[in-house]
Homo-oligomer: A and B are copies of this chain.
């Protein structure tokens, strides 16, 4: 039977195992972010290719397909490296379901590409297929972030997920803008859609800024003040001006170029973020492994002393209570000297235990904060969907209603979304 100290070592082992899994998942996330970027680019050129009836970007499209295929193979290999056999992957139920969906979409890609090459599919339809696949890949990142049990890594993943979401929304903004500039004017519905995409991006980047490390925040701030961004802002203003003026014929190309430059700059930030994530995992693992080593050394020392007749494990506790709020036993407190370690070593071990206890509590609090941010967007999306389905609202109307309600009641948007979902039964269609 295991001793108290044995269970402390077992707890540490679980922490290491969790971090090792997180390292694998973070590598996967890195691959996924590359694939998303490739698919965003392929979606962009495919869109122009189809919209121009095959006149433009024919060669670039073939190049982009090749680039996507290379990264896809790497991601599939990473999927294959996951522990799918033991059934013991933390969060495996959701993560594996997401991956199954992604694989299904990837399997359907060759057929989609044939349809695009033969121009047998509309630009809109092709875009929807790519967007569905990208959403699936983002969902994989979401699950990875949601299962991370280390608060620092969890924060990094929450930041990264929101950044990737923001970048994807920027890609969608590019598509809507390119279409509008190409036909030479923006309908009111397009302007609303653009405004929504811009606002949603800002929300994503705000959460990113809240959760990212200072270095990453600085890199992102620099990317945002690049000259290209000014041009994007100028063209956004033109696109959203009411009534919309006739637009210059080359506007579509200029829009495509400056938004592409912006998205490429985002990709640089994303790349830094995924690399930092992997380094974070390694550093944490080193730390916890060193911890375990210390624990084991203590265990050995104490086992030797234990032979002299007292329960060696008592030294690991006393009034610290291993992280419990309740008043712990007062018995055992005076064993500190009896076991031959002397009060000084005993006290230092005690400090170790208290630090561990506080660490568990802080970790739990921070994890809750990170996860709440992660779920916020999801809640708002679901509340919007509910209003659209039950009240026949447009996405735009639904979002505005939620936001207005939040402002009127001085509550967070996510709280209003939560209440809305809780009242789903009251929202049956009239």
Contacts and interface: CB of A to CB of B under 8 A. Distances in A.
Taking the full assembly, how many copies of this chain does it contain? 2
A128 B329 contact: yes
A139 B321 CA distance: 11
B100 A322 contact: yes
Interface stretch (A5-13, A46-54, A58-66, A400-408): A5-13
B311 A107 contact: yes
A76 B135 CA distance: 48
Interface of chain A, helix or strand or loop or mixed? helix
B332 A111 contact: yes
Given A112-B331, A356-B97, A104 B322 contact: yes
Interface range on chain A (Cβ under 8 Å from partner): 35 or more
A70 B313 CA distance: 23
Given A8-B96, A18-B93, A356-B97, A316 B385 contact: no
A88 interface: yes
Given A136-B324, A328-B132, A7 B76 contact: no
Given A1-B77, A97-B322, A316-B104, A330 B129 contact: yes
A80 interface: yes
A149 interface: yes
A4 interface: yes
Nearest to A95: B11
A3 to B, nearest CB: 7
A13 B105 CA distance: 23
Contact of A84 (B7, B15, B92): B7
11 contacts: A2-B84, A4-B100, A4-B101, A6-B84, A11-B96, A86-B88, A94-B360, A97-B360, A103-B313, A139-B324, A325-B385
Contacts of A381: 325
Nearest to A15: B93
Interface string A305-323: 0000001011011000111
A80 B325 CA distance: 25
A335 B15 CA distance: 45
A108 interface: yes
A382 B325 contact: yes
Nearest to A12: B93
B101 A323 contact: yes
A345 interface: no
A50 to B, nearest CB: 14
A293 B254 CA distance: 56
B360 A93 contact: yes
Given A11-B93, A14-B96, A97-B11, A104 B332 contact: yes
A429 interface: no
Q: Which of A80, A87, A317, A329 has the most CB of B within 10 A?
A: A329
Q: Which of A86, A97, A98, A109 has the most CB of B within 10 A?
A: A97
A378 interface: yes
A10 B92 contact: yes
A323 B136 CA distance: 9
